[in-house]
Structure formats: structure tokens, C-alpha cells
């Protein structure tokens, strides 16, 4: 299987989502996710970005999805890989790892 470098985008906000009171913040989840993926797939490049849903970047695709997160009351952080939602609220590593394996990532 061929390897394709993926971009993982985590959409979140400073403030916790109302249904996510006892969960880590979006930023903490982003840092935890980055570390966990690096450990699971060492020496396999991936890009991970954080998008604040209330202050999205100038990228029209990311800004549009940030708007969707708010309008559709999604539980954030929302984790996307290649435009596929792989985690909402409390993302599960197992789901994210399974999606990455579809792009040729090999677990250590």
C-alpha cells in the first residue's frame, strides 16, 4: 500500500463545549493527539493543525467547516482527516489510528 501524508485538523475553541465539561480543552486535546500519533507512527510524517472555530484562518475550506461546527452544534473538538470526521467531543485514538492506516501509516 502506498503512503499518503495526511493532514489532521482539530477544530475547537478556548471555551469548553457545554456538553464536554469534564473533558480536556481543545488545545490540550490537540497536544495530546499530536504526541500520541507521533508515538504510534514514528518517522512517518503527518501534518496536524488547530483551528479556532471562533477565529478561523483565511483558508476558505477551514473557515467554512469551523462555521459548520458552530451551526450544527457539533461537540468539539472535532477531528478531521481528509474531510472525514473521525472524532467529536472526546476523540478516540483507535478511530483516528484506523483512519490513518487507510493512508498507509504503519503502527510501531
Tens digit of each residue's pLDDT (9 = 90 or more) over 51-86: 999 999 999 999 999 999 999 999 899 999 999 999
Which residue shows C-alpha cell 475550506?
A: 61
Note the pLDDT tens digit of each residue in 29-44.
Answer: 999 999 999 999 999 9
Model pTM above 0.85: yes
- Give the per-residue pLDDT at 88: 93
Question: How is domain 7-101 classified at the architecture level of CATH?
Answer: 3-Layer(aba) Sandwich (3.40)
What is each CA distance from 73 to 18, 53, 85, 91, in whole angstroms? 10, 12, 14, 16
HEC-encoded secondary structure of 61-99: HHHHHHHHHHHCCCCCCEEEECCEEEEECCCCHHHHHHH
- Give the per-residue pLDDT at 14: 86
Mean pLDDT of all residues in the chain?
92
- Give the per-residue pLDDT at 24: 86
Percentage of the residues of the chain whose pLDDT score is greater than 70: 94
Q: Where are the domains of the chain?
A: 7-101
Instruction: Report d(CA 6, CA 92) in Å as an integer.
Output: 18
- Give the per-residue pLDDT at 19: 67
Amino acid at each position: 500500500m502506498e503512503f499518503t501524508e495526511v493532514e489532521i485538523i482539530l477544530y475547537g475553541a478556548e471555551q469548553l463545549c457545554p456538553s464536554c465539561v469534564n473533558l480536556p480543552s481543545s488545545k490540550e486535546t490537540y497536544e495530546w493527539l499530536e504526541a500520541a500519533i507521533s508515538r504510534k507512527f514514528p518517522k512517518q510524517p503527518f501534518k496536524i493543525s488547530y483551528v479556532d472555530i471562533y477565529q478561523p484562518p483565511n483558508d476558505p475550506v477551514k473557515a467554512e467547516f469551523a462555521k459548520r461546527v458552530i451551526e450544527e452544534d457539533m461537540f468539539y473538538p472535532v477531528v478531521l482527516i481528509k474531510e472525514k470526521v473521525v472524532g467529536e467531543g472526546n476523540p478516540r485514538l483507535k478511530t483516528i489510528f484506523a483512519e490513518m492506516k487507510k493512508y498507509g501509516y504503519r503502527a510501531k
